[in-house]
């Protein structure tokens, strides 16, 4: 059985190696986000690969390393966060990693979850920060049950959210929420160990004071390093927290903007809540950051076990039926974010970031798209206009596809339209060639 965790092509625990024959190629979706050197070696993400014929794959043992790790330290730092340190078994080969990467922790029964590394190679151990999740099988075991001395397997490392020693004068901004602080601490310590000359800002956000679980340690570290500034941010509904040195109250985006107004030439690291990562990536890009200098590590929880179809919850099913590769990739990504009750501005902001991630260049619209990620009056107006346009687009292609016989570029529109029109009693036609207007819209959207 192949290992897997997030099942959306993010954590890379399903990485395998394969070859193709007869002039075929590995689907681009299955290699999204991998290093170019790995792509050339035939590495792919099994959880998002849709084979069209028989496959023969192998685990890339030269890339994925697995060692035994023994828990030597366990410390509870708040009511739902614990810090764990694992030492690699000396009988195994050295476990080389870079600060800021993540590792897959494998339990004896095969349960696997990714966690970011907070330590630096010189420490001699792998430090992980684990938040106890209510339905999290691994996090509850690590928080409640695992004893010091227990042995697990460590697989990896993966990720490129790492310090860049080749640019010692570049400003660094580290932004994290919750246990997203873990990789940022690793990057910070690595930068300080390299005597980084550029200014370093670290913003750690939480909804209450106790969420800033390393506040005292980071405040002391900032006092001993002139180029390092630490800001703890209470980003929630609390109004009874008085501002103090290294502690500020207000929306994280506002507190970041108060300290850093120009991101030109800055390496920016985002770790934690996906919505926070998306919004602040847009903010940094809007204010001068280059895409290659944005290092993001969104914390994606593993899907909860599927419940009975009788569960009293709204359901949304958007199957893919013959969409193009780019449309399929976009549909899969957007489907994960589309939920009942989602705010229009939040969804549009995510779409903008998704397009940026996939390589789109929005410099001419740089002041518009990131702006949509915030819940202002202007954002709601623009979002509503875009959603209205989306509705027109939906109706145009649904009726064009089934009444006029056009070819529809989005599989889920085909399925949704077929069900809708069948219920309305509309006679469906087979698709013919796609007209020039529809083809132009397809190229412009996918």
Residue 64's Cβ-side half-sphere holds a number of Cα atoms within 13 Å equal to: 20
263 pLDDT band, cuts 50/70/90, is: very high
Residue, of 50 and 95, whose pLDDT is higher = 95
Between residues 231 and 405, the one the model is more confident about: 231
**Rounded Cα gap, residues 330 and 324, in angstroms:** 10
pLDDT per residue over 112-137, tens digit each? 999 999 999 999 899 999 999 888 88
What's the predicted TM-score (pTM) here? 0.57
CATH 3.40.50.80 maps onto the chain at 172-298
Average pLDDT of the residues in 277-291:
87
Question: What average pLDDT does range 409-432 have in this prediction?
Answer: 55
Domain 65-158 in CATH 2.40.30.10? The answer is yes
Specify whether the CB–CB gap between 368 and 381 falls below 8 A.
no
Q: What is the DSSP letter of 144?
A: I
Can you tell me the distance from the alpha carbon of 18 to that of 57, in angstroms, rounded to the nearest whole number?
4
Is 364 strand, coil or helix? helix
411 or 46, greater pLDDT: 46
The pLDDT value recorded for residue 245 is 77
Measured CA to CA, the distance from residue 252 to residue 229 in angstroms comes to 15
Total residue count of the chain as it appears in this document? 446
Residue with tokens 């005597």: 195
More confident position, 26 or 395: 26
Check residue 309 and give its pLDDT. 45
pLDDT tens sequence across 386-407: 666 666 666 665 555 555 555 5
Q: At what angle do helices 377-402 and 344-357 cross, to 10 degrees?
A: 70
Residue 229 has pLDDT above 80, yes or no: yes
Strands 102-106 and 112-116: antiparallel
- Give 33's pLDDT tier (boundaries 50, 70, 90): confident
Q: What angle do CA 445, 314, 113 make, to 5 degrees?
A: 75
Give the pLDDT confidence score for residue 444 in this predicted structure: 38
Segment 251-261, tens digit of pLDDT: 898 999 999 98
- 313-331, pLDDT tens digit by residue? 444 333 333 334 444 455 5
pLDDT score for 320: 36
In the chain, CATH 2.40.30.10 sits at 65-158
pLDDT at 347: 58
Among 18-32, 125-139, 296-310, 431-445, where is mean pLDDT lowest?
431-445
Q: Please give the mean pLDDT across all residues of the chain.
A: 73
Residues 6+ apart with CB under 8 A from 192: 200, 225, 228
pLDDT band at 349 (very low <50, low <70, confident <90, very high): low
Kindly tell me if the per-residue pLDDT of 439 is higher than 90: no
What per-residue string of b and e applies to 184-199 under the rule 16 or more CB within 10 Å gives b? Answer: bbbbbbbbbeeebeeb
Which residues in the chain are classed under CATH 3.10.20.30? 1-63
pLDDT value of position 39: 77
Q: How far is the C-alpha of 87 from the C-alpha of 89, rounded, in Å?
A: 6
Residue 129 pairs in a beta bridge with 83
Task: List pLDDT tens digits, range 37-63.
Answer: 677 767 888 888 777 666 666 555 445
CATH 3.40.50.80 correct for 172-298 = yes
pLDDT band at residue 441 under the 50/70/90 scheme:
very low
Lowest mean pLDDT among 101-110, 180-189, 206-215, 240-249: 240-249
Are 45 and 13 in contact by the 8 Å Cβ rule? The answer is: no
Among 66-75, 202-211, 417-426, which stretch is predicted with the lowest mean pLDDT? Answer: 417-426
Chain Cα centroid distance, residue 201 = 22
Q: Which residue has the higher pLDDT, 245 or 324?
A: 245
Which of these, 232, 244, 254, lies nearest to 176 by C-alpha position?
Answer: 232
Instruction: State the fold for domain 1-63.
Output: Ubiquitin-like (UB roll) (3.10.20)
Q: Give the three-state DSSP class for 433.
A: coil
Q: Taking 80 as the threshold, does the pLDDT of residue 342 lie above it?
A: no
* 16 band by pLDDT with thresholds 50, 70 and 90: confident
- In the block, residue with structure tokens 């020693």: 165
Higher pLDDT, 221 or 315: 221
Structure tokens at 350: 């995510």
Q: Report pLDDT digits (tens) over 161-199.
A: 888 888 899 999 999 998 999 999 999 999 999 999 999
**Confidence band (pLDDT; 50, 70, 90) for 220?**
very high
């Amino acid at each position: 059985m192949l290992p897997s965790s997030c099942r959306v092509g993010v954590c890379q625990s399903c990485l395998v190696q394969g070859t193709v024959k007869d002039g075929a190629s590995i689907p681009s979706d299955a290699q999204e986000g991998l290093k170019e050197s790995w792509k050339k070696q035939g590495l792919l993400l099994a959880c998002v690969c849709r084979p069209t014929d028989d496959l023969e794959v192998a685990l890339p043992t030269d890339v994925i390393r697995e060692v035994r790790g023994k828990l030597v330290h366990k410390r509870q730092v708040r009511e739902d966060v614990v810090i764990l340190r694992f030492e690699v078994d000396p009988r195994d080969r050295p476990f080389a990693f870079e600060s800021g990467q993540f590792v897959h922790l494998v339990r004896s029964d095969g349960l696997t979850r990714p966690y970011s590394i907070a330590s630096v190679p010189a420490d001699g151990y792998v430090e992980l920060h684990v938040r106890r999740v209510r339905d999290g099988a691994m996090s509850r075991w690590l928080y409640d049950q695992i004893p010091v001395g227990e042995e697990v397997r460590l697989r990896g490392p993966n990720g490129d959210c790492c310090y860049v020693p080749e640019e010692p004068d570049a400003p660094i901004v580290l932004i994290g929420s919750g246990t997203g602080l873990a990789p940022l601490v690793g990057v910070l310590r690595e930068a300080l160990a390299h005597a980084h000359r550029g200014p370093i800002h670290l913003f750690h956000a939480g909804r209450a004071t106790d969420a800033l679980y390393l506040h005292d340690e980071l405040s002391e570290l900032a006092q001993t390093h002139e180029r390092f500034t630490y800001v703890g941010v209470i980003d929630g509904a609390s109004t009874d927290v008085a501002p103090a040195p290294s502690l500020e109250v207000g929306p994280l985006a506002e507190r970041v903007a108060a300290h850093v107004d120009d991101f030109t030439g800055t390496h920016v690291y985002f770790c934690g809540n996906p919505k926070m990562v998306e919004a602040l990536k847009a903010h940094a890009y809007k204010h001068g950051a280059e895409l290659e200098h944005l290092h993001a590590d969104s914390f994606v929880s593993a899907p909860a076990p599927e419940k009975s179809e009788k569960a009293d919850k709204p359901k949304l099913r958007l199957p893919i039926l013959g969409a193009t590769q780019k449309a399929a990739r976009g549909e899969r990504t957007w489907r994960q974010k589309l939920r009942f009750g989602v705010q229009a501005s939040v969804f549009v902001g995510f779409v903008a970031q998704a397009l940026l991630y996939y390589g789109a260049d929005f410099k001419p619209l740089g002041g518009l798209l990131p702006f949509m990620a915030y819940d202002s009056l202007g954002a709601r107006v623009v979002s509503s206009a875009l959603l209205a346009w989306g509705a027109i687009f939906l109706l145009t292609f649904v009726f064009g596809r089934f009444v006029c016989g056009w070819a529809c570029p989005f599989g889920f529109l085909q399925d949704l339209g077929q069900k809708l029109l069948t219920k309305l009693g509309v006679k469906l036609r087979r698709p013919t060639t796609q007209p020039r207007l529809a083809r132009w819209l397809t190229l412009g959207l996918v």
